[in-house]
Amino acid sequence: MQSSVTYDGGRHSRGSAVRPADDAFQPPPGPVGEPRSWAAGRTLHDEGDSVRNLWVLQSGWAARACMLKDGRRQIARLMLPGDVGPATSSLAPTGTIVAITNVTTAPLILDRDLVGSDAGVVSPARIRLQRLAHEEQAQILDHLVRLGQMSAYERMAHLLLELHRRLARVGLVSGDTMPLPLTQEMLADLLGLSIVHVNRTLRQLQGAGLIVYGKGKLAIPDLRALAIACSCGDLHSRTESSAETPM
């Protein structure tokens, strides 16, 4: 299922969507050019390619992944509507970016001197790109904590909290329900688990009443309860809990 709301510089079509006041929605860091459509499975950017132009993901989901020679992959980050690719800096590593759903991207029309160099001029575009880069680094740090210190149960709960927060920012959460167009194989590649373990963990969370998982979407009836389920809660909000979770 493809996300149906198009990111177009701050407007979105679902007025009923959750949009937290303490996590303000931000428009792209500059005007955008003619959109381009990509089918699910297409590669938007190959690892090792130079970063010549930046684009904003207007609709759909993509994954930034590192590919091994034997075909295995580690998904480092999910890209959602409003994210900038292939990188927020010309010096940042990009990995391979693949469309998870059908996606639409639009090139950012920016002064290259303000994006890729220390021009000594502080522009709104440069400030916005710096903020995006900071947010991405924070998400990758959280992902390292997930992979290195959390149980499977905690990893899944924490990931779902992060996705809910990011999707709510761009108007893609309606009530307690958000799109989740990820296969269990994708979740396994993201969380460093086997597909069997992913399936078992989702069933545990659903059995505990923390999520309602359906085809292409997921509901979280109680965000705080899910935060408690991953012990340290959502790292971005620093919600803390001493609750024990199953291994």
In a domain, 98, yes or no: yes
**Same-domain pairing of 136 and 156:** no
Indicate the pairing of strand 55-59 with strand 177-179.
unpaired
Mean pLDDT value of segment 90-111? 81
pLDDT of residue 35: 92
What pLDDT, on the 0 to 100 scale, is given for residue 176? 95
Q: Are residues 138 and 208 in the same domain?
A: no
**Is the residue at 30 inside a domain?**
no
Domain tally, the chain: 2
pLDDT of residue 139: 86
Position with higher pLDDT, 109 vs 82:
82
Mean pLDDT, residues 147-168: 94
The reply to whether 127 and 215 lie within a common domain is no
If one compares 59 and 53, the residue with the highest pLDDT of the two is: 59
Contact 224, 176 (CB under 8 A): no
Range of the domain at 198: 151-229
Query: CA 25: distance to chain centroid?
Result: 15
| pTM for this entry | 0.77
185 part of a folded domain: yes
Q: Could you say which DSSP state residue 193 is in?
A: -
Residues 6+ positions from 83 with CB-CB distance below 8 Å: 56, 57, 62, 132, 136
Confidence at 194, pLDDT banded by 50, 70, 90: very high
Tokens 């937290």 belong to which residue?
A: 20
Q: Give the sheet arrangement for strand 62-67, strand by strand.
A: 43-45, 96-99, 62-67, 73-79
In contact, 106 and 34? CB cutoff 8 Å: yes
Side by side, the strands of the sheet bearing 217-219 are: 177-179, 217-219, 212-214
Contact 142, 78 (CB under 8 A): no
More confident residue, 207 or 111: 207
